[in-house]
Structure formats: C-alpha cells, structure tokens
Amino acid sequence: MDSFFQHVVVVDLGALGIGEAPEANRYDSVGTDTLKHAAMQLTNFNLPTLAQWGLGNLRDANPVPGVPTVAEPTGFYGRVHVSTADWTATTGWAELWQGDATAVFDRLMHAGIAVNVVSATAIAGMAQPIQQIADDEAALAQATTHQQGLTVIRLVDGLRLAAAQQSEAYANWLMTIDARLGTLSQQLPADTLLIVTATQAIDPETGRLTREYVPLFSFSRKRPTGIALGIRRTLADVAATVEKNFLGVQSQAGHAFLSELGLTTGD
C-alpha cells in the first residue's frame, strides 16, 4: 500500500511528565509536575518549539513560565495517560510498542519497511540492532540521515539528570532539546511525520519515576496547522499510528491518530 508518510520519526524524550495523573495518590506522586518544577529552576526557561506545537495549550489551566498558549499551534498535541500499572523504564518502552517492540519492528521489516533505532544505551528485550550514539544531540541528528521507513530515537540524557535530581541541568537539557527539535522540524521533508513523546516521567525534585501524564506531539509540514489530540489512553497509540501508516492495519492495541491529522478515516 502507499503510505501517507514515507518516513516516520519517533522521538522518545526519555523522561518528561506534565502533571500528576488521576491515580497519582497510589504511586506517591501527588503534586509531582516535572515540567513545572524544571521551569522553576531558571528565570530564562523557555520552550518555544514545544510551545508552538501546543505544550502550553495542554497547561492552560496551570500555566508554566516560558511555555505560553498559542492561538494557532503548528503541531498536533495531546497528553498520554500511561496504562501500565507497573510503570518502569522497561514497561514504558514496551507500552509504546504495544508490549513488544521486536514484534512491531519485525512486522514492518517483513513488509519491506526499514527500521532504524538510535539510542545512547542498550534497550532491554530488543532483538533488532541498535545504533548507539554518544549523546542526545547526536542521536537527534540521525533523524535526517534516513528518508524512508521508521526511525526511532531514544533520548537518555534528561532521564539521567532527572534521576540524579540535577534539576537545573535538566531544565537546561529541556531547552537544548527544544531548540534541536525546532531545527529538526524544519529540516525534515514534507513526507516525514515527526512524533514526540516520553516513555517515563521522573520529576527531578524526587529523582524517581512519578505517575504523571506525558506529552504527545505530532508535526508534519503537510499539516502546518495543528489541533488537540485529546487524552490518549495508552502510549501504544504511537505504534498503532506507525502501523496504520505503513501497513494500513488497525492494531489490536492502541488507537491510531492519522484521522486526527486529516489523512484517513475509520482509525
């Protein structure tokens, strides 16, 4: 089948929460808010790219300095309520890929779709080879080296900083990644879909995994004006969107959001 996008880039920010989830009290996470607590570390905190994609709109009821709302977002934006009860680095990554990244990637490769996974560290349970890169900025640069198939970029520097409770360094990391995403979005061709989310939330004030919503962004130069994607009930919506794009199938786990991008119906 003809794909809506010839190339899909999925960026896993590693660790970015945007406010406590409804069940936060069961996970000792009441009051956790990775984004807000990062913003409080720097007087010049500013995330212009993510704000333009709609991050501030997700926080209109609880604004964050440096992340304003925008009337005309250029990205599609939503929040994800992670479904797994035992949320860890391993289970968050697994949920992103419907419980089994190897199986999803195998289905794509058997259909002739190239799959490239980039990470500074090994990924538990991955059968496919991983291109190991020195740091997050170098990892993001790999997005432009491919023109077709699926490119998955897993960032780890922010996760390390948050876990070490280096709040100011984490805030600076967020601003650096925001700038790199802005540059990347302008370098990618129109037939590339960029998806950005996070498989963990680690509030640097706690240094441990916290039960928060995580953000979801989708950007394409084919669709210069974005809308809200709402609250997604699982990270598996990302894998469902990838499979819908390349294989034309409706996955059993997750709900594809290509229709929200105005590209197909019946997802």
CATH of the domain at 160: 3.40.720.10
| Domain membership flag for residue 209 | yes
Burial degree of 77 (CB within 10 A; 0-12, 13-18, 19+): buried
Inside any domain, residue 126: yes
Q: What is the predicted pLDDT for the residue at 265?
A: 47
How far apart CA 87 and CA 98 sit, in angstroms, is 14
**Domain contains 267:** no
Residue bearing tokens 């002739």: 112
CA 116 to chain centre: 16
Q: 8 - beta bridge partners?
A: 150, 193
Would you state the pLDDT for residue 266? 47
Residue-number span of the structural domain to which 131 is assigned: 7-261
Q: Is residue 2 part of a domain?
A: no
Is residue 62, in this structure, part of any structural domain at all? yes
* The total number of structural domains that make up the chain: 1
Task: Assess contact for 251 and 103: CB atoms under 8 A.
Answer: no
Examine residue 68 and state whether it is found in any structural domain, yes or no. Answer: yes
Task: Identify whether 93 is part of a domain.
Answer: yes
What does each of the 267 residues of the chain score in pLDDT, given as a tens digit? 678 999 999 999 999 999 999 999 999 999 999 999 999 999 999 999 999 999 999 999 999 999 999 999 999 999 999 999 999 888 999 999 999 999 999 999 999 999 999 998 888 777 788 899 989 999 999 999 999 999 999 999 999 999 999 999 999 999 999 999 999 999 999 999 999 999 999 999 999 999 999 999 999 999 989 999 999 999 999 999 999 999 999 877 899 999 999 876 444
- SS3 of 32-84: the string is CCHHHHHHCCCCCCCCHHHHHHCHHHHCCCCCECCECCCCCCCCEEEEECCCC
What does the pLDDT read at residue 124?
Answer: 77
Other beta carbons within 10 Å of 164: 13
> How far apart (Å, rounded) are the C-alpha atoms in residues 104 and 45?
37
- Cβ distance 122 to 165 under 8 Å? no
Closest to 159 measured CA to CA, from 214, 77, 101: 214
Sequence-ordered list of residues with C-beta below 8 angstroms from that of 156, at least 6 positions apart, any chain: 14, 119, 120, 121, 136
Distances (CA, A) of 12 to 89, 96, 139, 193, 261: 11, 9, 11, 14, 20
- pLDDT for 221 equals 92
The whole-model pTM stands at: 0.96
